[in-house]
Structure 1
Amino acid sequence: MIIDEFNRANVSQVLGEVIQCLDRNQSVDIEMDKTTKRIALPKNIDIIATLNTTDRTLGTIDYAIKRRFMYVYCLPNPNLLIDLCPSVNFISLCDFLTKLNTRLIRATGNRDLAVGHAVFLSDHIKQDDKYVWDFEEFRILYNYKILPMIEDYCSNNYDMVEDVVGNKLSAQLDSEDFVDALKSFMEIA
């Protein structure tokens, strides 16, 4: 069974008494309507649950549930962009995302606040199994999706935003200014 966005629901309420079976590998007697019923999970069932640790608006999952699951932390993988996304004019999206996330995590101190590689994998620009970005589409993506995400991750602290992307790239820019700002950002150590 796969449960996507596990933390969007009240997990304790959704799973109910089944929670008790998750780590016991046995059946559990549950009293329901003045009778006792034995419930058990089949031996051949595995539960895979995904959740987004970045979304701070969702409730937390209590420790009684957390201890019943194993965790695999999945960081963004910029290297996927090497094969999937040809370079945009003079930049590699892999290099851009790597630099952006390194600086973002350093500024926020939180590895959950990173831009995922999937932001560059939009179906409307897919050609021959590659995600092809022209410069104008990349500028629009940056100005209206990536930059607002960075601002949000930095709690709209514009000094912090500048620490992440530099002072030139910290504002929405038109094409000519964007080229210069992007070049400057890629040259920042």
Structure 2
Amino acid sequence: MGYRPDGSDFKLTEGIIYRFCQTAANHPDKEYFFIIDEINRGNMSKIFGELLMLIEKDYRGTKVTLAYSGMPFSVSENIYIIGMMNTADRSLAMIDYALRRRFCFFEMEPGFNFEDFRNYQNSFANETFNALIDQIKALNKEITEDSSLGRGFQIGHSYFCGREEAGCSDEWVRSVVEFDILPMLSEYWFEEPAKLQRWEKNLRGVFDD
């Protein structure tokens, strides 16, 4: 909640989280999920405000007086806040400890070994694609073991998804390697040219006859 321009004046306006919490409070028998993508890109203390206290499980349902409106407000127990973030974004501030204590953390690995992706991969029956995925798995193992990188810098499966209707052509697969994967590796290993050259050879070698 805050003041926003309204013609030549300013008007106290309810924000999306406020309206969401009010809706959830009116339906206590239902579960409500509020999803925040790239949660570490903003100033969380400023964005959350009074929510920093109210989202704690011990304070759910506890009313506080809002700074701007002077009205009571609470976060009900049927609200679940899901924040998504990429730990490989080095230029972004990590979640501060005050906010970290209010969340459980779940790490999502690349899905190359998930059944859905394997079925998707098998539907192409494309040996070049299969060979590339094997190389990406090996690459992720090396990235994970690299002391300057780690698990959070692995290559995700999303680069290779969304091709059911368009099909899996060698041209498309090569474009993913040249314009997505290799530029990323050049940033990862800009001080280790030998390692970069080795993986350029490995990935491009998939397309050699």
Q: TM-score range by the shorter chain?
A: 0.7 to 0.9
Query: Which residue in 1 is equivalent to 2:174?
Result: 139
Cα gap change, 1:83/1:96 in structure 2, threshold over 3 Å: closer, same or farther? farther
Residue deviations 1:13-54 (CA, integer Å, cap 9, x gap): 111111111213342545736x96543201211111111111
**CA separation in 2, counterparts of 1:156 and 1:145?**
19
Query: d(CA) in 1 for partners of 2:120 and 2:196?
Result: 28
What's the C-alpha RMSD, in Å, of the aligned pairs? 2.7
Give the ranges of 4+ consecutive aligned residues of structure 1 lying more than 6 Å apart after TM superposition: none
Q: Matched residue of 2:152: which SS?
A: coil
Residue number in structure 2 paired with 1:16: 49
- Measure how far apart 1:179 and its partner are: 2.6
Report sequence identity in percent: 27
| Counterparts of 2:160 and 2:39, CA distance in 1 | 24
Match of 2:150 in 1: 110
State the partner residue of 1:95: 134
Q: Within 1, Cα distance between the matches of 2:66 and 2:112?
A: 51
Question: Match of 2:119?
Answer: 83
Q: What TM-score results when the alignment is normalised by the length of structure 1? A: 0.75
Larger Rg: 2
Alpha-carbon distance in 2 for matches of 1:8, 1:152: 21
Alpha-carbon deviation of 1:109? 4.4
For 1:72, the equivalent position in structure 2 comes to 106
Find the aligned partners of 1:134 and 1:78 in 2 and give their Cα distance: 19
Give unmatched runs, 5+ long, in structure 2: 1-33
Distance 2:78 2:143 in 1: 42
In the alignment of these two chains, the number of paired residues is 168
Q: Which runs of 5+ in 1 are unaligned?
A: 184-189
Instruction: Say yes or no: does 1:149 pair with 2:205.
Output: no
